[in-house]
Structure 1
Amino acid sequence: MTRKALVVRGGWEGHHPVEATELFVPFLRENGFEVRVEDDPQVYADSRTMGETDLVLQSVTMSSITAEALRGLREAVVAGMGLAGWHGGIADSYRASSDYLQLVGGQFATHPSKDPEHVRGGETDNYLDYTVEITDLGRRHEITAGIDDFRLTTEQYWVLHDDLNDVLATTTHPVQSYHPWHRPLTSPAVWTRDWGAGRVFVSTAGHSLDVLQDPNVRTIIERGMLWAARAR
């Protein structure tokens, strides 16, 4: 039976939602998914569409969502549909909706900047060289098994989260004289979440196209989508 994937993309253009999701559409098709693309989360309010969907790949940074659409998304995940995404497209969506944040299990708080002496007023002010560390669970999990700790130079997400997440990888924000915190902070970088009969997958790495094409990041996202999708 052909499974169905719904790609929902939009919101802030700085995360290149069209180009970023297009990187993964061929992979979904190669793995037997019929892919539908929408540019508005209002599609979540269509109960028939959601009932037929096995995986939502979402890339919608910030933006807003109606109560009807959010209810449709939550009900679909509870019923067994998978939800997957990366970076702000899933962890910084619909900031005003606490019910969405509960569903996903983590919310972007900040991405710390460089030393002020090296800040130039551009996007790269928040690009840091940091390590993604695979957890003990991650070394056994099908999404991250066989992947070693790896380094990235991009935005390092600080995420507010809860204990229902199964954390497969973390990243640690160090203490710096120019930041106000006083001890290192370890934040989830890759996690999964069981919600009803459904599954949620999140990778915080994915700010730009080059990061999404990093072999480790791309492998994790591809495996994460397959893991999250409803089994037929």
Structure 2
Amino acid sequence: MTDRRALVVRGGWEGHHPVETTELFLPFLEKSGFDVRVEESNEIYADAEVMAATDLIVQSVTMSEISKEAFAGLRSAVEAGTGLAGWHGGIADSYRANSDYLHLIGGQFATHPGRPPAERPGDETDNYLSYTVDMTELGREHEITAGISDFSLTTEQYWVLHDDLIDVLATTTHPVQPYHPWHRPVTSPAVWTRQWGAGRVFVATPGHSVDVLEDPNVRTIVERGMLWASRAARTS
């Protein structure tokens, strides 16, 4: 018997593999006791009855658009206690034209600095860099990231614009390179949480492709983050 309901909403830019990446986590959600519903459109957010019965939303919708009614339903659900979780552009680069959505999430993708120009083959790997995800002091103690040491990835390194209402569990630092215009290292949140009304928001910026999400550190963080965000996890 399941006693929790998860809503997986996927779509948007296909370059982030919304179907393949969300399918990776469906067995985990089901094993964790969730009755999982998958939707290919964010218009489901406008269904007040569905949203009121949902304990966790897992969103993978990069860029794209959201209607006024759908966003209002999403925000109201989170404020009422529904958890919202996601990774990479599926949550941190969604609905760029909706400033209220950016406010809800607390951090927004700005860019992913690329490799040296002479080393770019002209495909998505132009923006693949080797970088470190560094745990914060909070992250070393938080249930999502406890026991996970700093780790390295070779993939897109997100530069995130953010506010100080988020609780940062891990960061990543963009170094100064001669082919970039900034003049000092810039540190961005890589994993964060946000309290919003009665709800919780979880974001991990790694997750460009399935292989990144299969990294043991990333997968553990995402799985724990979904459970942490879920309403039922807080009331059971």
Match of 1:126 in 2: 127
User: How much has 1:30 moved relative to structure 2?
Assistant: 0.2
Distance in 1 separating the partners of 2:41 and 2:97:
17
In the alignment, the residues of structure 2 paired with residue 26 and residue 164 of structure 1 have an alpha-carbon distance, to the nearest angstrom, of 32
| Residue in 2 that maps onto 1:168 | 169
Measure, in 2, the Cα distance between the counterparts of 1:214 and 1:28.
Answer: 18
Greater Cα shift, 118-127 or 49-58: 118-127
Distance 1:210 1:31 in 2: 22
Per the TM alignment, residue 90 of structure 1 is displaced from its structure 2 partner at its CA by 0.2
Counterpart of 2:151 in structure 1 is 150
Cα root mean square deviation, aligned: 0.6
- Partners of 2:108 and 2:40 lie apart in 1 by 22
Cα distance in 2 for residues equivalent to 1:78 and 1:12: 27
Instruction: Report the Cα offset of residue 117 of structure 1.
Output: 1.1
In structure 2, the residue matched to 1:95 is 96
**1:193-232 correspondence to structure 2 within 5 Å:** 193-231=194-232, 232=235
How is 1:35-74 mapped onto 2 (pairs within 5 angstroms)?
A: 35-74=36-75
Aligned-residue offset at 1:120: 1.7
Letter in 2 for 1:218: R
Deviation at 1:209, TM superposition (A): 0.5
Q: Say which SS state the counterpart of residue 146 (structure 1) adopts.
A: coil
How far, CA to CA, are the matches of 2:121 and 2:208 in structure 1? 19
Partner of 1:80: 81
Q: Partner residue of 2:24?
A: 23
The TM-score, its normalising length taken from structure 2, stands at: 0.98
1:59-113 alpha-carbon deviations (Å, 9 max, x no partner): 0000000000000000000000000000000000000000000000011000000
Letter in 2 for 1:201: F
Identity %: 75
TM-fit CA distance, 1:25: 0.5
User: What secondary structure, in the 3-state scheme, does the structure 2 residue paired with 1:160 have?
Assistant: strand
Letter in 1 for 2:77: A
Distance in 2 of aligned mates of 1:19 and 1:172: 29
Amino acid at match of 1:211: V
TM-score with structure 1 setting the length: 0.99
2:5 corresponds to which residue? 4
How many residues are treated as equivalent by the alignment?
232
User: Whole-Å Cα distance in 1 between the matches of residues 8 and 124 of structure 2?
Assistant: 26
C-alpha distance in 1 between matches for 2:118 and 2:62: 29
State the shift of 1:197 in Å.
Answer: 0.2
What is the distance in 2 between the residues matched to 1:223 and 1:18? 20
TM superposition shift of 1:152: 0.0
Give 4+ residue runs of structure 1 displaced > 6 Å after superposition.
none
SS at structure 2 position matched to 1:226: helix
CA distance in 1, matches of 2:18, 2:144: 23
